[in-house]
Amino acid sequence: MVEHYRYKTKPYEHQLEALERSYNKTAFAYFMEMGTGKSKVLVDNISMLYDNGEINGALIIAPKGVYRNWISQEIPNHLASHIKPISVLWDPSTSAKKQKELNQVFKPGFDLHILVMNVEAFSTKKGVEFASRFLNCHKTMMAIDESTTIKNPKAQRTKAIIGLSSYAKYRRILTGSPVTKSPLDLYMQCNFLDPELLGFSSYYAFRSRYAELMNARFGGFRVQIVKHYKNLEELSMKLEPFSYRVLKEDCLDLPEKIYQKRYVELTPEQTKLYATMKQMALAELNGKKATAPHVLTQMMRLNQIICGHFKDDNDEVQEVKSNRVKDLLSILDETEGKAIIWANYIYDVEQIQKAIAKEFGEKSVVTYYGKTHTDDRQEAIERFQNDDECRFFIGNPQTGGYGITLTAANTVIYYSNGYDLEKRLQSEDRAHRIGQKKSVTYIDMIAEKTVDEKIVKALRKKIDIASEVLGEELKEWI
């Protein structure tokens, strides 16, 4: 069945193996490292189940940063060509036009009904009710992309999603790193698939089997914390029948470089400030011959707002409330092994360093940028390359993008991008050089409908924005 299926895009060997193990199972976990193509596997699995008459609906749940990708890329790129779906992206908007679009997922007459929702929607009554109506309207598969988003048993969205899971005929979870901080993260993810899979009636029973607890005092309160984990070999054996684990190093046929996008939603403060700054920039350029350096300066100001800061009239940096650091931490939660984070501004490097140190520990991160003392730079490289505790390297391409070797990482994240193609290519090659034994995944963080999109598109087409794009053309970008 799997080998001879009419795929729209040819699967790699490890993807065929994942499908072979999972395609007809009621519950299954794709524990596939970022960059190994787990999204394609899910779309192929949906195609197969539809063709077998098992489902006519799919509810895909993903974080805000990636859920749009399912509609714009994954489904159109990989869903079998003979299937004519109606695919709808959730939006809580109450406009009549949007409501009409959403209601299409309930209409008969389409081969397959696909609803894509962001996981945050399940913290709202409206989102839960809409998903419930969809699940009760069709024979469905329910899938959670980046399923560690439901690891917290106390979270409202976790409870809502678990509550809906019984309405789905098939259930799937997808994550590159099923255990982000603790083996206990697995309980709610597996509970979504089937409460019987792990053999425990409650999270607390599961915790007492796989963790030794101890009492501690924090701020005058007595709490229980994990002293150490136990029986992990037994837990691994329990996961085996309903999961498939693959790392990039196991996949011999992957391309050398894999590119992905993660969308970051602007806060209301950013949206308002961006619109104001855009109008000011256009007013300043209006009626003048737009020179590239002048327009690039205006674009840099807009780019800084997207990242969460700007310089005021006194040349002081002012913070703007932003989702960017929080979304970066979500990406790092899903990342297996080590990662390089490139940021274009000193302010960003320092904010990222503080956030990572708080989330993952001081020893987990090193920085390499203009303020890094010369004597400390080589130590930062050596720690990142050789110290297992050090997982994250933060730098700016101007300082760290040339000449150094960072092959310990096979994930590179562009928190922000500059306009210089050479700096982009050089910074990409810090991980992708002699000594790298795996494919490298490059992730661009992008704010939709801003200069971010144009910059990333140009750089990926290997266009040097600073020298190849004319001023008037750049002005259109603003």
CATH of the domain at 405: 3.40.50.300
Do 219 and 261 belong together in one domain?
no
How far are the Cα atoms of 317, 335, 395, 414 from residue 350, in angstroms, in the given order?
13, 21, 10, 15
Q: Is the Cβ–Cβ distance between 338 and 392 less than 8 Å?
A: yes
Q: How confident is the model at residue 446 (pLDDT cuts 50, 70, 90)?
A: very high
Report how far residue 120's alpha carbon sits from residue 160's, in angstroms, rounded to the nearest whole number: 11
| Beta partners for residue 173, in sequence order | 29, 144
Residues of the domain holding 40:
13-250
Q: What is the pTM of this model?
A: 0.82
Do 235 and 190 belong together in one domain?
yes
What per-residue confidence (pLDDT) applies to 373? Answer: 87
The rounded percent of the chain whose pLDDT value lies above 70 is 99
How far are the Cα atoms of 6, 82, 234, 313 from residue 178, in angstroms, in the given order?
30, 34, 16, 47
pLDDT tens-digit map of 138-184: 999 999 999 999 999 999 999 999 999 999 999 999 998 877 678 99
Q: Which has the higher per-residue pLDDT, 351 or 314?
A: 351
User: Which helix or strand (DSSP H or E) is residue 409 part of?
Assistant: strand 409-414
Q: Is the Cβ–Cβ distance between 299 and 474 less than 8 Å?
A: yes
Do 213 and 329 belong together in one domain?
no
Sheet holding 57-62, edge to edge: 85-89, 112-118, 57-62, 140-145, 170-175, 27-32, 243-246
Domain presence at residue 6: no
Do 363 and 246 belong together in one domain?
no
Q: Is the Cβ–Cβ distance between 192 and 161 less than 8 Å?
A: yes
Of 2-6, 153-157, 346-350, 363-367, minimum mean pLDDT range: 2-6
Domain presence at residue 207: yes
Do 239 and 209 belong together in one domain?
yes
Domain presence at residue 271: no
Closest listed residue to residue 256, CA positions, set 432, 36, 443: 432
Domain presence at residue 312: no
Do 34 and 103 belong together in one domain?
yes
Q: How confident is the model at residue 255 (pLDDT cuts 50, 70, 90)?
A: confident
Whose tokens are 């737009």? That residue is 290
Phi/psi at 62 (5° precision): -150, 160
| Angle between helical axes of 292-307 and 268-285 (0-180°, round to 10) | 170
Calculate mean pLDDT across residues 241-253: 87
**H helices within 4-137, ranges in order?**
13-22, 38-51, 64-69, 75-78, 96-102, 125-137
Domain presence at residue 440: yes
What per-residue confidence (pLDDT) applies to 247? Answer: 87
Burial class (CB in 10 A: 0-12, 13-18, 19+), 96: exposed
Do 194 and 261 belong together in one domain?
no
Domain presence at residue 288: no
Query: Is the pLDDT reported for residue 253 higher than 90?
Result: no
Find the radius of gyration of the CA atoms of the chain.
Answer: 23
Closest listed residue to residue 329, CA positions, set 306, 362, 357: 357
Do 360 and 211 belong together in one domain?
no
Q: Is the Cβ–Cβ distance between 311 and 304 less than 8 Å?
A: yes
| Token pair listed for 40 | 């394609």
What per-residue confidence (pLDDT) applies to 433? Answer: 73
Per-residue exposure over 168-181, b if at least 16 CB sit within 10 Å of its own CB, e if not: bebbbbbbbbbbbe
**H helices within 242-373, ranges in order?**
268-285, 292-307, 324-333, 346-360
Of 35-44, 73-82, 105-114, 195-204, minimum mean pLDDT range: 105-114
pLDDT tens-digit map of 230-239: 999 999 999 9
What per-residue confidence (pLDDT) applies to 419? Answer: 85
Of 80-84, 103-107, 429-433, minimum mean pLDDT range: 429-433
Do 90 and 190 belong together in one domain?
yes
What per-residue confidence (pLDDT) applies to 420? Answer: 85
| Token pair listed for 130 | 């809409």
Q: How many domains does the chain divide into?
A: 2
Query: Is the pLDDT reported for residue 387 higher than 80?
Result: yes
The residue among 250, 274, 309 that closes a domain is 250
Q: How confident is the model at residue 243 (pLDDT cuts 50, 70, 90)?
A: very high
Q: Is the Cβ–Cβ distance between 348 and 358 less than 8 Å?
A: no
Calculate mean pLDDT across residues 404-429: 89
Do 261 and 190 belong together in one domain?
no
CATH of the domain at 75: 3.40.50.10810
Domain presence at residue 31: yes
What per-residue confidence (pLDDT) applies to 111? Answer: 83
| Token pair listed for 184 | 């206990």
Q: How confident is the model at residue 352 (pLDDT cuts 50, 70, 90)?
A: very high
Mean pLDDT for all residues in the chain? 90
Calculate mean pLDDT across residues 435-441: 80
The residue among 250, 277, 300 that closes a domain is 250
Query: Is the pLDDT reported for residue 451 higher than 70?
Result: yes
Of 72-86, 200-214, 279-293, 301-315, minimum mean pLDDT range: 279-293
φ/ψ region of 220 (left if φ > 0, alpha if ψ in -120 to 50, else beta) reads: left
What per-residue confidence (pLDDT) applies to 218? Answer: 74
Query: Is the pLDDT reported for residue 292 higher than 70?
Result: yes
Kindly state the DSSP code that residue 53 receives in the 8-state scheme: T
The residue among 250, 278, 303 that closes a domain is 250
Report how far residue 140's alpha carbon sits from residue 7's, in angstroms, rounded to the nearest whole number: 21
What per-residue confidence (pLDDT) applies to 305? Answer: 93
Calculate mean pLDDT across residues 117-146: 95
* Long-range contacts, 206-215 (Cβ 8 Å, 24+): 210/183, 210/184, 210/235, 211/182, 211/183, 211/184
What per-residue confidence (pLDDT) applies to 434? Answer: 66
Q: Which has the higher per-residue pLDDT, 444 or 98?
A: 444
Report how far residue 366's alpha carbon sits from residue 380's, in angstroms, rounded to the nearest whole number: 6
Calculate mean pLDDT across residues 446-463: 89
Domain presence at residue 278: no
For residue 333, give every residue at least 6 positions away whose Cβ sits within 8 Å of its Cβ, in sequence order, or none: 148, 177, 180
Closest listed residue to residue 342, CA positions, set 413, 441, 447: 413
Do 78 and 195 belong together in one domain?
yes
Report how far residue 85's alpha carbon sits from residue 60's, in angstroms, rounded to the nearest whole number: 14
User: Judging by DSSP bridges, how do beta strands 170-175 and 27-32 pair with one another?
Assistant: parallel
Do 222 and 361 belong together in one domain?
no
For residue 132, give every residue at least 6 positions away whose Cβ sits within 8 Å of its Cβ, in sequence order, or none: 164, 167
